[in-house]
Structure 1
């Protein structure tokens, strides 16, 4: 949960059956703050509140599935689908491409714009795919992940980043059979979340 739409930092809390699993910790979010995204739940919003768009450096607000884990290790023992981040694995952020917002091996016809999932730094050493904009709505935002931070207090291009040891804890805990989700909000959506999940103990 972040303070407001302009926040570049947020607090991440992990729950299972409405009980905290780990101590909460700070994470980095978008350079542009947050905007309403496309997930499993659409929160009420005024026309003055920003919507997530491609290239706006905003992290998406909403309730999103957590679909898979990716990383630089060839194989890890976890309870989630795993994508080995080889040099030919990309995520497409070209909204004109039919592969928009998909992670795939490099196709024969390359999109104009894409992210390499095997980077020269450690940011994608371990990460989690966030189910934002699954319908591939053009220009609505793509390639949203939880991943390793580049440095402490360094905002992202729209993802959520954290220390390696924190994401390792989350990856070890997640279980696809339990349908894990990410609830990413500002404090202004807190009441709506508590209507959906009344037993959650959200921190101020």
Structure 2
């Protein structure tokens, strides 16, 4: 049976009611390094984590809420090796194990699970378990350990052509190694995040250059207390 998995497992809630916030802050749009912090309400729950972002830095993505920004700044596009900046739902977790005891939905990344980055496919930016007629895709069961555990960042859910696909939080290839558009970190740090997340607390990812922190604080003033 053919299956297509939406990048988003839907939760019906008001964006600003998010209790769990993963905040990733980079020094600027061009760096491939950033710092991740995690908040439950107004309390930081994990120590700051060093993460890798896109080799070419950040570009504004398509999330669940726009941050007011300058129009001449880069946009996230397919193949640009930039990680998306903005505010995004955190979707489901995935990994190589059949099952994982988490408080968010989990999908087994078996040998057939693919994420489609073919901009001309109707399955663009979707998970599928077949490759018939799809010209470009990513195997979710890799030969390395980068997708041993991961989280889906719900970017470009409307499948806007060329605006980027298959964005994840995942295990880093090696220390200080940039990604082609995702956000990566040490396995132990990713596991801490996975075990902490709870779908009932409406988790989101906010990823921005630090000049946009004032805009983030307007939306989420509890973060400014830290």
TM bucket (normalised to shorter chain) is over 0.9
Output aligned runs, 1:37-76, within 5 Å: 37-76=61-100
The counterpart of 2:127, out of the listed 103, 125, 133, is 103
What residue in structure 2 maps to residue 87 of structure 1? Answer: 111
What residue in structure 2 maps to residue 176 of structure 1? Answer: 199
For residues 25 and 35 of structure 1, the distance between their equivalents in structure 2, rounded to whole angstroms, comes to 21
The counterpart of 2:37, out of the listed 2, 5, 13, is 13
Question: What TM-score results when the alignment is normalised by the length of structure 1?
Answer: 0.96
Aligned length: 202
What residue in structure 1 maps to residue 17 of structure 2? Answer: none
For residues 25 and 75 of structure 1, the distance between their equivalents in structure 2, rounded to whole angstroms, comes to 26
Cα deviation for residue 46 of structure 1 reads: 2.2
Structure 2 alignment gaps of length 5 or more: 1-24
What residue in structure 2 maps to residue 189 of structure 1? Answer: 212
Cα deviation for residue 188 of structure 1 reads: 1.5
For residues 92 and 209 of structure 2, the distance between their equivalents in structure 1, rounded to whole angstroms, comes to 25
For residues 133 and 75 of structure 2, the distance between their equivalents in structure 1, rounded to whole angstroms, comes to 28
Cα deviation for residue 44 of structure 1 reads: 2.1
Secondary structure at the counterpart of residue 222 of structure 2: coil
Question: What TM-score results when the alignment is normalised by the length of structure 2?
Answer: 0.87
1:150-198 Cα shifts (integer Å, max 9, x gaps): 0000000000000000000000011111110000000121111000001
The counterpart of 1:148, out of the listed 154, 158, 171, is 171
- Confirm or deny: 8 A CA contact 2:42 2:225 kept in the other structure: no
More strand by share: 2
RMSD: 1.1
For residues 84 and 181 of structure 2, the distance between their equivalents in structure 1, rounded to whole angstroms, comes to 7
Secondary structure at the counterpart of residue 46 of structure 2: coil
Change (3 A) 1:18 1:139: same
1:22-48 Cα shifts (integer Å, max 9, x gaps): 101100000010000000111222232
For residues 104 and 177 of structure 1, the distance between their equivalents in structure 2, rounded to whole angstroms, comes to 26
1:115-158 Cα shifts (integer Å, max 9, x gaps): 00000000000000000000000000000000000000000000
